[in-house]
Chain A
Amino acid sequence: MEKNTLKQIQNLANDIYKKILEEKPPELVMPLRSLSNVVYNEKDGYFELAGKYKKRTLTANTAKTFAQTLRLLDLSKELIKTNDIATKREAYYVSKNWGEARFKEQPESDAVMDDVEAMLEVNREQLGFLPEEKGGDIAGEITVIETDPETGEEIKHDCTKFVSGAYSIPSQVEDLKFETKANLVIAIETAGMFQRLVKHKFWKKHKAILISMGGVPTRATRRFIRRLSDEMKLPVYVFTDGDPYGWLNIYRTLKVGSGNAAHINKYFCVPKAKFFGITAQDIEKYSLPTHPLKDVDIKRIQDGLKNDPFVLKHTSWQKELKKLMKMKKRAEQQALAKHGLNFVISDYLPEKINDPKSWLP
């Protein structure tokens, strides 16, 4: 895998080198990274590239980015060769050695990194770059097994053994192994809700694996859940706030991937995931306390209805979004506490588990 990436980097550099010797402007070609360049592969259940590319030709205007892209490729080459890693933040600091070609702010280096990743159609971990943020937290009916690379010894993490803490998903999940007798996986938006379910050992009664996503799930979290779904054949349910952010940014990214890194969505999504709540229906059914929709919520709904290939394929989601728009309201997971702090454990989730008709695709 790494050898391949190394080869790719060298081929790319070689193409540029040859062009320059021919006195022709070199080009960098990469897939366009936006929702407008993804199609929803219904059969396999994820977003994939629609085939639009952007070409960056070397000109006076692109000279700086061009130099930075090549510098970053070189850094990647060194990382792979020495079997080392750099976080996105560290890569940004390394650039401070590049004189005028250094990045001023980290968003600049992140963008060039995304470009390189898309250009080579690899995952940034393959380039030796790691995200700063860690994955989600795990608790419940699962044992995660990792191998110590120095001793070859297996280390087991029994996730039923936590009282208040949790197992953290590492940024590389490909080599992990699992042992589980669970019946289902519940991925939860907020750490607070996760804490409540862990504290009351919700997982025990329902033989569940609980995962705290902490907002939009990282690639590692998505991959981790995907492996549970594929290899352990476990159903995955997603429990978020009842608002467009929870539905479109969190749930949709987990299920079908993002528009920004469509070339790798194939591995970093959970097509079989189902949405558990909170739905617009729930807001009425449980008469939940609400907040008014913010401008950004309304924009997200309009944008989703117009541009999101996933929403466009699912009439049930369109109905939900339109309903929310009409109600002009949103509700948080914690709003269930209106009926008692543990209402979510005693009533809401059991009702959901037992009523497949209340799930959304």
Chain B
Amino acid sequence: MATSKAEELAKKQREISVAEFFEKNRHLLGFDNKRKALLTTIKEAVDNSLDACEEADILPEIMVEVIDMKNDRFRIIVEDNGPGIVKKQIPNIFAKLLYGSKFHKLSQSRGQQGIGISASVLYAQLTTGKPARIISRISKNKPAHYYELYIDTKTNNPKIVKEEEVEFDKDHGTRIELDLEGSYVKGAQSIDEYLKETAIINPHATIIYTNPKAEQFIFARATDKLPKKPKSIKPHPHGIELGMLMKMIQNSYHKTIKAFLMNEFSRVGTNTANEILEKARILPNTKLNNITREEAERLMKAIKETKIQAPSTDAISPIGEELIIRGLKKEIRAEFYTAVSRPPSIYRGNPFVIEVGLAYGGEIPKDKSATILRFANRVPLLYQQGACAFTESIIKTNWKSYGLQQSNKSLPQGPIVILVHIASVWVPFTSEAKEAIAHYPEIIKEVKLALQEAGRQLGSYIRKKTRVRDELKKRSYIETYIPHISQSLIDLLELDESTKILLNEKLKKILEQKRGKVKEVGLKAEDIEEYDETLAKIGRGETVEETIEEDEI
């Protein structure tokens, strides 16, 4: 009877294990259902492979295999020719949540938080009880290492089941094999579609994909040029939040607060550092480990109030207008293509670049809403279209003035595919599942500007096309009514029927005098050399509604 409430509660309080955390936040990590789990796992593995290859200046060659093990179980194998992983890091990278190289620096890369692949390992282990099997080799002279790994769900540490040297037919590279519960579908949100779009937007990569039906697709690389390697930059003060600031203060080896500001951030020199510190009422030579929480908060406030030069934008590597158009042509037989790459811009201290591409007409269905292809740092976004800032920008753009139909607050109607890409050192997603771009006004505005620029080109094309169509219509008009004029004149004047030919000829001359030759506008569908019919059929063919969220685990 004497036990207090607090003591009672204390019995229930305990550390939450990673497994529990995962179970409760599955949807945030992209494992809402079996179908999505399969896609998320492949996405994380492929993203890592592409990032690793590019960082090591290697042209990526990625093999993806999905094997149906029956009873809703699948084996996923992803193998790359990347730089490999040093032996002692292998367990941490694959079997420890929130372990990674990307969280602590800012550079444009596909993965960001280091939660991805280990979450898949955990998911696999929770659904099938099977460990992750990893092989990695860093060079010809070194052996390949094989690991079987679990995540210790209580401590978030790797549990090594097996460890040995094995044969590996690549000089360097990494292979991961996971068994997990899932469900394989075709359609707009399928693995097939994801890999196809990845191949389109990464023309320097070769992807060899074998699906559960044992159909193999080879997406061969279209260029030997690696994208410009993004530089990694220090964070800009305006892009920082209090939690991150405090973490940076804890981890920094600089002694004084001033040195910390000048060395850990970009665009902070002596003057700016002094200004910030003065506003925060902190002495410049205050020892870093003496900074209190209150002081950090003042510092945060002072940073916000200080004008700081915009961050450098060389950390961004856009795809470029030419490659975007080439990518669109590969998949879509249209009659008009255009792309716009915007100059770099900034949101909350993070530089970013928006690029858009449009494909119009040709074989794109005429009576449907626009198809939207969304990409962030060259990664296709297949889910949560409605919640994405890109979609908002598209809806807020006035497509009517570019010759498309659009009802209030909805996507434009007509034969059009709209591609939007954001490249940034830090892409703001609405959730950890990285499915939709957050609604920052700066981003929405940039996308709108890019769409307007592309839209104007589209509008001018559509107008030109209309003019030509009207002209052709008029010509057929002439052809249609000339004989009637001739015939009635013959009847009225009781002329010989043979006059008809002469009259027709003369009338044609009179009516076509002022009409020059009509030039065809737009591309003919069959003339698109880049078009790849087999590729185009992958994924998109059968559509699965996004709202279907069946097969909950």
Q: Mark B426-449, 1 if CB is under 8 A from A, else 0.
A: 000000000000000000000000
Q: Mark A134-172, 1 if CB is under 8 A from B, else 0.
A: 000000000000000000000000000000000000000
Q: Main SS of chain A's interface residues?
A: helix
Q: What 10 A-B pairs come out closest when comparing CB atoms? A: A70-B488, A67-B484, A60-B474, A13-B492, A63-B481, A101-B484, A67-B481, A74-B491, A74-B488, A100-B480
Q: Mark B481-515, 1 if CB is under 8 A from A, else 0.
A: 11011001101110100000011001101110001
Q: Would you call B475 an interface residue if the criterion is a C-beta within 8 Å of the partner chain's C-beta atoms?
A: yes
Known: A63-B511, A70-B492. A98 touches B478 (CB 8 A): no
Tell me how far the C-beta of A56 lies from the nearest C-beta in chain B, rounded to whole angstroms: 13
Cα separation A83 to B521 with both chains bound (whole Å): 56
Of residues 256 through 284 on chain B, the ones whose CB sits less than 8 Å from some CB of chain A are: none
On B, residues with C-beta under 8 Å from A are: 474-475, 477-478, 480-482, 484-485, 488-489, 491-493, 495, 502-503, 506-507, 509-511, 515
A99 in contact with B484 (CB, 8 Å): yes
Q: Which residues of B contact A66 (CB under 8 A)?
A: 481, 485
Known: A67-B485, A98-B484. 12 other contacts (CB 8 A): A10-B493, A21-B506, A23-B506, A25-B511, A58-B511, A63-B480, A63-B511, A70-B488, A70-B489, A70-B492, A100-B484, A101-B484
Q: Which residues of B contact A24 (CB under 8 A)?
A: 510
Cα separation A337 to B206 with both chains bound (whole Å): 95
Q: Would you call A338 an interface residue if the criterion is a C-beta within 8 Å of the partner chain's C-beta atoms?
A: no
Q: Which residues of A contact B509 (CB under 8 A)?
A: 23
Q: Which residues of B contact A98 (CB under 8 A)?
A: 484
- Can you spell out 25 A-B residue pairs with CB atoms less than 8 angstroms apart? A14-B493, A17-B489, A17-B493, A17-B495, A20-B507, A21-B502, A23-B510, A25-B510, A25-B511, A58-B507, A59-B511, A60-B477, A60-B511, A61-B477, A63-B478, A63-B482, A66-B481, A67-B484, A67-B485, A70-B484, A70-B489, A71-B484, A71-B488, A77-B491, A100-B481
**Residue of A at shortest CB range from B510?**
A25
Of residues 1 through 37 on chain A, the ones whose CB sits less than 8 Å from some CB of chain B are: 9-10, 13-14, 16-17, 20-21, 23-25
Tell me how far the C-beta of B80 lies from the nearest C-beta in chain A, rounded to whole angstroms: 63
On A, residues with C-beta under 8 Å from B are: 9-10, 13-14, 16-17, 20-21, 23-25, 58-61, 63-64, 66-68, 70-71, 73-74, 77, 98-101
Q: Which residues of A contact B502 (CB under 8 A)?
A: 21
Q: Which residues of A contact B503 (CB under 8 A)?
A: 17, 20
Most chain B CB atoms below 10 A, which of A17, A60, A71 = A60
Cα separation A24 to B514 with both chains bound (whole Å): 12
Cα separation A58 to B506 with both chains bound (whole Å): 12
A67 in contact with B506 (CB, 8 Å): no
Q: Which residues of A contact B491 (CB under 8 A)?
A: 74, 77
Q: Which residues of A contact B492 (CB under 8 A)?
A: 9-10, 13, 70, 73-74, 77
Cα separation A25 to B482 with both chains bound (whole Å): 12
**Residue of A at shortest CB range from B507?**
A20
Tell me how far the C-beta of A81 lies from the nearest C-beta in chain B, rounded to whole angstroms: 11
Q: Which of B474, B481, B506, B515 contacts A20 (CB 8 A)?
A: B506
**Residue of A at shortest CB range from B482?**
A63
**Residue of B at shortest CB range from A22?**
B506
Cα separation A135 to B482 with both chains bound (whole Å): 40
Q: Which residues of A contact B495 (CB under 8 A)?
A: 17
Q: Which residues of A contact B481 (CB under 8 A)?
A: 63-64, 66-67, 100-101
Cα separation A169 to B492 with both chains bound (whole Å): 34
B477 in contact with A16 (CB, 8 Å): no
Cα separation A73 to B491 with both chains bound (whole Å): 10
Cα separation A66 to B503 with both chains bound (whole Å): 15
**Residue of A at shortest CB range from B493?**
A13
Q: Which residues of B contact A16 (CB under 8 A)?
A: 489
Cα separation A60 to B503 with both chains bound (whole Å): 16
Q: Which of A13, A23, A101 contacts B489 (CB 8 A)?
A: A13
Cα separation A61 to B477 with both chains bound (whole Å): 8
Q: Which residues of B contact A68 (CB under 8 A)?
A: 484
Tell me how far the C-beta of A65 lies from the nearest C-beta in chain B, rounded to whole angstroms: 9
Q: Which of A10, A63, A71, A77 contacts B477 (CB 8 A)?
A: A63
Q: Which residues of B contact A14 (CB under 8 A)?
A: 493
**Residue of A at shortest CB range from B503?**
A20
Tell me how far the C-beta of A76 lies from the nearest C-beta in chain B, rounded to whole angstroms: 10
Known: A23-B506, A61-B474. A73 touches B488 (CB 8 A): yes
Cα separation A61 to B495 with both chains bound (whole Å): 27
Tell me how far the C-beta of B161 lies from the nearest C-beta in chain A, rounded to whole angstroms: 82
Most chain A CB atoms below 10 A, which of B480, B481, B493, B509 = B481
Cα separation A233 to B484 with both chains bound (whole Å): 50
Cα separation A10 to B489 with both chains bound (whole Å): 9
Cα separation A13 to B506 with both chains bound (whole Å): 16
Tell me how far the C-beta of B143 lies from the nearest C-beta in chain A, rounded to whole angstroms: 81
Cα separation A195 to B495 with both chains bound (whole Å): 56
Q: Which residues of A contact B515 (CB under 8 A)?
A: 60
**Residue of B at shortest CB range from A19?**
B510
Tell me how far the C-beta of B470 lies from the nearest C-beta in chain A, rounded to whole angstroms: 10
